[in-house]
Amino acid sequence: MVSIYELVSREKSFDILNELLSYGELTVSELLKKIGGSASTITRRINELIEAGLILERSSKKWPYKRLLRLTDYGKRIAKRLRSLKLDEKSIIERSPARWILLLAYLNNGIFESVTRLVKFLFLLREEYGLKVDYDFVWYKYGPFSKDILMDLDAMETYDFLTIDQELLGYDSEGGEPVVRKTIRLTKKGEKLARELLFNTPQGYVDILKKILEKYYKMPLKNLKDYVYSRYSEKDPHLR
């Protein structure tokens, strides 16, 4: 029997797990489009990951029926661990985007409710306030999205800078996907690092962070998504 280590080391295994960790649930065709390469290799690898208990599959409820894939809890743990191995603690701290995440949470009493809201905040910091936020955004169903943000969150959770609590709110009326609210909380270690970052951050930048929190944090999430969509959806669809 093939070991998990050998399986995840095979071609396209990490790419499949990484995309599913980022997007939650995808069809096989969506995975093929995002990953690229040989369809037969990816299909074979998907079947191996299903057999190993890392991926669950189900059929969509509406015609045309599609094969939908998502990670099991075990698959999520493996995928997060693989992500963290791609980064080290020093690289997370030295990257300016990860700094903004820690600072936003710290200035908001150590908590930031909704990862979706966080993504929109980071996008607006770049587009509306002109800060250097080095994430590549693409347009997804909830507006601008960057899987690199999720990678940084997973890595910072691995290094005990923060925790991410998940609350099931219900299920999407169209696709039946679970709707989950993820809340970020800084740990003691994360608070200590954020204080150090705050001390070394120019006051003008700190004022911008406080301003965006005051303006948008209490705005209903749907209103925030509608605002971002209406103002920026006409831009380049890749939103680089």
Contact (Cβ atoms closer than 8 angstroms) between residue 237 and residue 145: no
* pLDDT at residue 228, rounded to an integer: 94
Which long-range contacts does 106-112 make (Cβ < 8 Å, 24+ apart)? 106/186, 106/190, 106/191, 106/194, 106/195, 106/197, 106/198, 107/198, 107/206, 107/209, 107/210, 107/213, 108/213, 108/217, 110/185, 110/186, 110/190, 110/191, 111/183, 111/184, 111/185, 111/186, 112/183, 112/184
Alpha-carbon distance values, 44 to 10, 32, 48, 172 (Å)? 11, 12, 6, 30
Q: Is the dihedral of CA 51, 56, 59, 65 positive or negative?
A: negative
Mean pLDDT of 210-223: 96
Pick from 38-42, 83-87, 105-109, 146-150: least confident:
83-87
Alpha-carbon distance values, 60 to 23, 26, 65 (Å)? 16, 11, 5
- Give the confidence band of 166 by pLDDT, cuts at 50, 70, 90: confident
- Give the confidence band of 240 by pLDDT, cuts at 50, 70, 90: very low
Contact (Cβ atoms closer than 8 angstroms) between residue 231 and residue 143: no
> Of 32-41, 147-156, 207-216, which has the strongest mean pLDDT?
207-216
For residue 86, give both structure tokens.
């791609």
For residue 95, give both structure tokens.
């990257």
DSSP state, residue 11 = T
Alpha-carbon distance values, 93 to 16, 82, 97 (Å)? 27, 19, 9
CATH numeric code, 4-82: 1.10.10.10
- Give the confidence band of 119 by pLDDT, cuts at 50, 70, 90: very high
Q: In the CATH scheme, what architecture does the domain 87-232 have?
A: Orthogonal Bundle (1.10)
Picking from 156, 155, 157, 138, the residue whose alpha carbon sits closest to that of residue 146 is 138
End-to-end CA distance of the chain: 43
Q: Return the higher-pLDDT residue of 79 and 104.
A: 104
What residue spans define the domains of the chain? 4-82, 87-232
Element (H, E) at 104: helix 96-107
- Give the confidence band of 185 by pLDDT, cuts at 50, 70, 90: very high
Domains 4-82 and 87-232 share a fold: yes
| SS percent in the chain: helix, strand, coil, step 5 | 55, 15, 30
- Give the confidence band of 180 by pLDDT, cuts at 50, 70, 90: confident
Separation CA 179–CA 114 (nearest Å): 11
Give how far the C-alpha of residue 189 lies from the chain's centroid of Cα atoms, to the nearest Å.
22
With a cut of 90, say whether residue 134 has pLDDT above it: no
Write down the residue that tokens 């991926």 correspond to: 55
pTM for the model:
0.67
